[in-house]
A and B are shown apart, each in its own frame.
Chain A
């Protein structure tokens, strides 16, 4: 059987433990306990999980972090199971889903429902949510942290690069190291209860319901901090839905979290920081990057990242876009072309690039489902990635009991997400008269956040914030 697991890596190592076995369309597949179903299948060469509901088009991995519906399969007789966030279990029966899911042929157990009061409910255990939980707890509040993934850390767990910024804000430290540190602190904090594997899916008159495979909990929180992150954007081009086209972040999740090669020849679309960093990390994992293309006339990300990959012989083609992915069941090549000033493809400049994977690094969109359900005032900000909640300097939204932080409040980066989380967490605690952390700490963090954004790369964010931040 094919096995695209990475065994040697300059930075990472994976302790996979003893293999377990799952059945995929009647065939045995080897998996490892920390893997999710979609990852284990991917490592075994399964690139198609389902067919689309209307035109039966092949569907493979896209986001890899539980944000889209591309990996829905039938697991143990239950249709529409999101396999990228479902951990494998020995003996699991996994089937390709063709079209709409077939009605379950087993009787699932009803979820056990309980109700829980919560002083502060933090939704999302990425950089913003972890910091919000930690600082609210340090201030003396009791925190419940809900996260839909099998493990905490959000997207920090795949960021092997070293952070920029000042030493105070983890500069020079790899994201994965920060994640380990924060997760350990959260787990050691007696004032934080963690609900991993629980998806917060709905507001019910001020209460929030979160559910796992077996349980549902209705939380009655006094304060809520929404730190649900962001989802990768799709790009419009012909045949863009076939397996082999996925988010750059998904590629990063595959190789850095699970140690699985996303492909062998990758075309990266987008030369922002994510596109550049992921390209470099692909090379670190021994994968060929056949090129990086960028629609803008200039590289969008930090030059230090761009020169790193250029030094390794990868061309960055600016003013280029992808027109088509070639292939029926899987990407076999990409057709790219030069674009003019209006971003329109110039006829005659088309070229075919042989590749088996097209990674899209076209930006992120804040995951605002819960903020919308809570009927908050939202505004559209292209600079911040889409619709975002209006809020004050302390991340308080138009509902005084609801805060938003991190990418969910506007797409930026992990360092700023952590600061926003800290500010929101402390504010929620102060609201409830927990003042074990002096207010000066919060004010100082806000000043640092403003300083960090004062640089050239913060300019765009600051433009966005002008329409989003409510002055008091």
Chain B
């Protein structure tokens, strides 16, 4: 670690590392990534690993459509297998009202080039043969949605960034950030101080605390979300299944991984609960009954960093020039990682991202210009 960099990125999850990689790719190589624990130890390594563009707001549909375009070729780009697989997302709707709503969503998504469609139970069964067709009326299907393996993604980005000269420091905690008269920052870390012109806050659940060091109040709520993983099995499932708050997929390694909501808002711990396990088991076996014979292997929890409108905060902060946000993902940080990395890097390096991210700016909260998103799962 040196004592000065052009850009210091706080957070060694998918966001921070993707930003670092994309900056380096643009020749902006004087970059350090600071991670307080190990890479992927925060939200990235705890996430459900799903990637989808089937959202309800135009902004997120476009963002994720572009993210999926990067995901599709990310392994080749990083020269590291991130195990992306376009397994598709299959939403199951079980009331006529929900099916109607889904039809509207599909039409809306199609307008932005996300070619989701409503399918009947027969077709859903062909896509996912183990489904119990009595558990839903119709499906909503998009075959470009998928999954990737979080730790491989983090490793892939970190290696590629390092190859380009980025310094990545683990076990390095930031405990204070000072602004200087020359509009630069002094970042105080457990491994020493760093002078820098730009600070990127990609600290996931810690983002609020990092921003507070510069008197910026990110209006986030931490919700605890739990996940379980089963023993590995031969590939059988097919798509990511979603029904209400329930979701699960089968990873490249064969484990069924998924979660459901337990209503833990404003959480202060990430302990596993038994209530989650029984709720998940009940809901999961309603749609795929033979999961009842599959054994649990692991259970864990992480935080959804909920912003007031369930959209992330991206870009600079007006009051503190040089202080960039990439946080508040509201449960969607992993899937957004590649596109956020690209857009933030374009913004920092050239001041001009290829997709306008102005409406994701922090200032929207003060102005009351909130975005809307209904499709938060899990």
Contacts and interface: CB of A to CB of B under 8 A. Distances in A.
Contacts of B282: 110
B299 A103 contact: no
A101 B299 contact: no
A462 interface: no
A218 B274 contact: yes
Contacts of A104: 290, 292-294
A209 B281 CA distance: 15
A279 B141 CA distance: 62
A103 B290 contact: yes
B274 A209 contact: yes
Contacts of A102: 233-234, 236
Nearest to B295: A80
A59 B23 CA distance: 48
Interface in A258-302: none
A107 B293 CA distance: 7
B263 to A, nearest CB: 16
B289 interface: yes
B300 to A, nearest CB: 11
Contacts of B104: none
A203 B289 CA distance: 26
B244 interface: no
B234 A99 contact: yes
A370 to B, nearest CB: 13
A205 B290 CA distance: 29
B233 A100 contact: yes
Task: Specify the main secondary structure of chain B where it touches its partner.
Answer: mixed
Contact of A80 (B130, B231, B292): B231
Nearest to A375: B271
A352 to B, nearest CB: 37
B290 A105 contact: yes
A105 B232 CA distance: 16
Contacts of A103: 130, 233-234, 236, 290, 294
B292 A110 contact: yes
A53 B235 CA distance: 12
Nearest to B281: A110
B184 interface: no
Contacts of A207: 274
Contacts of A452: none
B272 interface: yes
A205 B285 CA distance: 25
B293 A77 contact: yes
A269 to B, nearest CB: 31
A204 interface: yes
B278 interface: yes
A104 B282 CA distance: 17
A106 interface: yes
Interface residues on B, range: 20 to 34
B273 interface: yes
A78 B290 CA distance: 10
Interface in B286-316: 289-290, 292-296, 299
Contacts of A80: 231, 233, 295
B68 to A, nearest CB: 28
A109 interface: yes
Contacts of A205: 271-273
A80 B273 CA distance: 25
Contacts of B281: 110
B135 to A, nearest CB: 13
A109 B292 contact: yes
Contacts of B273: 204-205
B293 A78 contact: yes
Interface string A100-142: 1111111111100100000000000000000000000000000
A197 interface: no
Contact of A110 (B234, B274, B285, B296): B285
B289 A202 contact: no
B353 interface: no
A60 interface: no
Contacts of B271: 204-205
Interface in B237-292: 254, 271-274, 277-278, 281-282, 285, 289-290, 292
A110 B232 CA distance: 19
A101 B234 CA distance: 6
A79 interface: yes
Contact of A202 (B232, B290, B299): B299
Contacts of B294: 79, 103-104
Nearest to B129: A103
A419 B367 CA distance: 70
Interface in B213-238: 231-234, 236
A110 B292 CA distance: 6
Contacts of B233: 79-80, 100-103
Contacts of B277: 204, 209
Nearest to A97: B234
A406 to B, nearest CB: 26
A206 B234 CA distance: 35
A449 to B, nearest CB: 35
A119 B86 CA distance: 51
B130 A107 contact: no
Nearest to A207: B274
A73 to B, nearest CB: 13
A86 to B, nearest CB: 13
Contacts of B130: 103
Given A107-B289, A108-B292, A202-B299, A100 B234 contact: yes
Nearest to B275: A204
A111 to B, nearest CB: 8
Contacts of B293: 77-79, 104, 106-108
Nearest to B230: A80
Contacts of B272: 202-205
Nearest to B237: A103
B116 to A, nearest CB: 27
B274 A204 contact: yes
B287 to A, nearest CB: 13
Contacts of A79: 231, 233, 293-294
Contacts of B299: 202
A80 B130 CA distance: 19
Contacts of A202: 272, 299
B274 A107 contact: no
Nearest to A102: B234
A143 B294 CA distance: 31
Nearest to A76: B293
B290 A107 contact: yes
Top 7 A-B pairs ranked by shortest CB distance?
A: A108-B293, A104-B293, A103-B236, A204-B274, A78-B293, A108-B292, A104-B290
Interface of B: 130, 231-234, 236, 254, 271-274, 277-278, 281-282, 285, 289-290, 292-296, 299
Interface of A: 53, 77-80, 99-110, 113, 201-205, 207, 209, 218
7 contacts: A79-B233, A102-B236, A103-B130, A109-B292, A204-B271, A204-B274, A218-B274
Given A110-B285, A204-B274, 18 more contacts: A77-B293, A100-B233, A100-B254, A104-B290, A104-B292, A104-B293, A108-B292, A110-B281, A110-B282, A201-B296, A202-B272, A204-B271, A204-B272, A204-B277, A205-B271, A205-B272, A205-B273, A209-B274
